[in-house]
């Protein structure tokens, strides 16, 4: 059965492709997911040192980043810019153990928040957090701009679903 065109959907060979953002449930669902995730990192003994006591705008910023990366509005780029993301990770010296724990809590929060369980969506989610955490770890150790990961814009994540 054909679906009606929705903003944010992409036309591909005259077929409407659902974005990851839409499949996840949109802004409110992603914000709920990130709120659960952020709460978990703030109490995790391995990750809490990276996040301190938390920042009141962090959930909104991370939600905007995830939404934009998954095909939603470009609020993160317009309001903060990618340089903000580089700045907040510089000097953190993220370890591989912390990166792996971050991924584990991110995926657990997806379960707790009730995000879709279909394999294509979960693979997109997993590959997104794997890549993003690698970029953050590299940038956290960079002492010069030449040592930063070359990514300078919010990545637009694609998937095989939709």
pLDDT at 13: 52
Quote the CA–CA distance of 40 and 43 in Å, as a whole number. 6
Quote the CA–CA distance of 3 and 152 in Å, as a whole number. 35
**Which letter does DSSP use for residue 11 in this model?**
E
Average pLDDT over residues 1-22: 60
pTM: 0.88
43-99 pLDDT, tens per residue?
999 999 999 988 889 999 999 999 999 999 999 999 999 898 899 999 999 999 999
Contact call for residues 149 and 94 (beta carbons, < 8 A)? no
Quote the CA–CA distance of 61 and 140 in Å, as a whole number. 18
> 15-19, 27-31, 68-72: which range is least confident on average?
15-19
Please report, to the nearest 10 degrees, the dihedral formed by the alpha carbons of residues 60, 64, 66, 67 taken in order: 130
**Which letter does DSSP use for residue 10 in this model?**
E
Both structure tokens of 5: 């065109």
Residues paired with residue 16 on neighbouring β-strands, in sequence order: 11
**Strand, helix or coil at 88?**
helix
104 has pLDDT over 80:
yes
Contact call for residues 30 and 63 (beta carbons, < 8 A)? yes
Contact call for residues 78 and 67 (beta carbons, < 8 A)? no
Helical H runs in the chain?
20-24, 27-43, 48-51, 58-69, 75-79, 82-89, 96-112, 119-141
Quote the CA–CA distance of 155 and 110 in Å, as a whole number. 20
Quote the CA–CA distance of 36 and 59 in Å, as a whole number. 9
């Amino acid at each position: 059965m054909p679906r009606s065109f929705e903003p944010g959907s992409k036309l591909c060979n005259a077929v409407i492709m659902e974005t990851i953002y839409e499949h996840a449930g949109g802004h409110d669902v992603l914000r709920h997911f990130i709120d659960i995730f952020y709460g978990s990192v703030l109490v995790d003994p391995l990750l809490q040192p990276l996040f301190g006591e938390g920042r009141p705008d962090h959930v909104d910023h991370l939600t905007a980043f995830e939404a934009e990366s998954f095909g939603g509005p470009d609020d993160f780029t317009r309001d903060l810019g990618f340089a903000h993301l580089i700045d907040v990770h510089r000097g953190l010296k993220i370890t591989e153990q912390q990166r792996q724990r971050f991924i584990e809590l991110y995926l657990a929060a997806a379960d707790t928040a009730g995000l879709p369980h279909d394999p294509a969506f979960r693979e997109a989610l997993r590959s997104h957090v794997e890549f993003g955490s690698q970029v953050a770890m590299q940038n956290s150790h960079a002492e010069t701009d030449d040592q930063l990961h070359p990514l300078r814009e919010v990545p637009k994540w694609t998937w095989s679903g939709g």
